[in-house]
């Protein structure tokens, strides 16, 4: 029986792959519980897919899921969660070794003590000042505007009980934000502080555009702030417009003086146009998300699965 599935999404991680496998083997060799490692190749264009297949054919403790193309980090993790076999739960860890796999034992102890979610809190992170500041600002904004508590400074690195994973798998979101889904499920949760290491090799695969997309998913999926922002912005604009109108009436009746020329008119048009464009953009974002949801496409498509030392035939389905 497999107790814990360790889920590792990979995208172009050829440079760090050997270090990753060596550390994972060292960890699961010493655990007092049984583990499987699920390696998800997220459409890599380097040699990662071949390396995944090789290790999975050599060692039955490793399972490989090869996606048909690059679906993105959150969907790659979702593919692992959809195919895990851990009876007690699953651990999510990135393949760049910034998150130490050695913490699996500490997480498992907390899981056995009755916690359903053990999420890692990044006490220190070895990244640029600008990036650390941006992360910190986003997490605190998210906490302020979310409709429920999403822990600050916690990423996807976590261990989840079986029932938490089952509930997350039942959630149909196309735009996945796993740390928000994890928090929304509830049950008994606890944070575990750790120091996040530097990437061991290779380049980061999370560009700023992908980080912004992830941040938008967190805001739009788990907060009603954008809709309330439109309402408040519209209300504030109307109030200022009425004040300005009253001010001009006052000048007209008491001083027989009103602003001349087109400056005030042009400024008013620009202001209202900007407000309308912002509002339409936010509404359009919701419409696009609804459209993506109702299309009901599969979250991901699997090319092949390598499990128990052999390749499992796959028909290209989720």
Does residue 287 sit in the same domain as residue 190? no
Cα 285 from Cα 154, distance rounded (Å)? 26
| Residue 171 binned pLDDT confidence (cut-offs 50, 70, 90) | confident
What CATH number does the domain containing 144 carry?
A: 3.90.550.10
Give the strand pairing for 189-196 and 154-161.
Answer: unpaired
Question: In whole angstroms, what separates CA 302 from the centre of its chain?
Answer: 20
Same domain, 79 and 171: yes
- Residues of the domain holding 197: 4-206+298-313
Choice between 256 and 73, residue whose per-residue pLDDT is larger:
73
What is the count of structural domains for the chain?
Answer: 2
Residues 39 and 144 in one domain: yes
Comparing 49-53, 254-258, 295-299, which segment has the lowest mean pLDDT?
Answer: 254-258
pLDDT reported for residue 92? 94
Q: Say if 216 falls within a structural domain.
A: no
Give a yes or no: residue 218 inside a domain.
Answer: no
Residue 219 within any structural domain of the chain: no
| Residue 110 to residue 150: CA distance in whole angstroms | 20
- Say if residue 22 is in the same domain as residue 136: yes
105 and 191 in a single domain? The answer is yes
Identify whether 40 is part of a domain: yes
Average pLDDT over residues 263-281: 73
Q: pTM of the full predicted structure?
A: 0.75
Q: Confirm whether 128 is domain-assigned.
A: yes
124 located within any domain? yes
Please calculate the CA angle 187-119-48 and round it to the nearest 5 degrees.
125
Do 91 and 31 reside in the same domain of the chain? yes
The string of pLDDT tens digits covering residues 97-133 is 888 999 999 999 999 999 999 999 887 766 666 666 7
Please check whether residue 114 lies inside any domain of the structure.
yes
The average confidence (pLDDT) of the chain is 81
164 and 279 part of one domain:
no
Tell me how far apart the alpha carbons of residues 107 and 225 are, in angstroms, rounded to a whole number: 34
């Amino acid at each position: 029986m497999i107790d814990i599935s360790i889920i590792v999404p990979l995208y172009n991680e050829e440079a760090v792959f050997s270090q990753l496998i060596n550390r994972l083997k060292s960890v699961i060799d010493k655990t007092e519980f049984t583990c499987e490692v699920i390696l998800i190749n997220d459409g890599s264009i380097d040699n990662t897919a071949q390396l995944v297949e090789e290790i999975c054919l050599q060692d039955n403790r490793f399972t490989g899921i090869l996606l048909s193309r690059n679906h993105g980090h959150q969907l790659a993790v979702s593919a692992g969660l959809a195919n895990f076999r851990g009876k007690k739960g699953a651990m999510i860890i990135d393949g760049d070794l910034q998150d130490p796999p050695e913490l699996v034992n500490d997480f498992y102890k907390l899981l056995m003590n009755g916690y359903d979610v053990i999420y890692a809190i990044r006490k220190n992170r070895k990244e640029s000042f600008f990036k650390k500041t941006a992360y910190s600002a986003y997490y605190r904004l998210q906490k302020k505007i979310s409709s429920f508590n999403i822990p600050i400074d916690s990423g996807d690195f976590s261990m989840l009980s079986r029932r938490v994973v089952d509930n997350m798998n039942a959630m149909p979101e196309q735009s996945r934000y796993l740390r928000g889904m994890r928090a929304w499920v509830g049950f008994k949760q606890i944070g575990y502080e750790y120091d996040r290491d530097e990437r061991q090799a290779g380049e980061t695969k999370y560009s700023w555009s992908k980080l912004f997309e992830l941040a938008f998913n967190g805001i739009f999926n788990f907060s009603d702030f954008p809709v309330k922002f439109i309402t408040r912005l519209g209300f504030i604009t109307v109030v200022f417009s009425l004040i300005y109108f009253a001010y001009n009436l006052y000048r007209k009746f008491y001083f027989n003086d009103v602003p001349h020329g087109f400056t005030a008119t042009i400024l008013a048009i620009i202001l209202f146009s900007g407000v309308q464009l912002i509002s339409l953009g936010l509404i359009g974002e919701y419409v696009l998300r609804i459209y993506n949801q109702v299309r009901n496409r599969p979250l991901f498509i699997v090319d092949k699965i390598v499990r128990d030392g052999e390749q499992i035939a796959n028909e290209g389905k989720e």
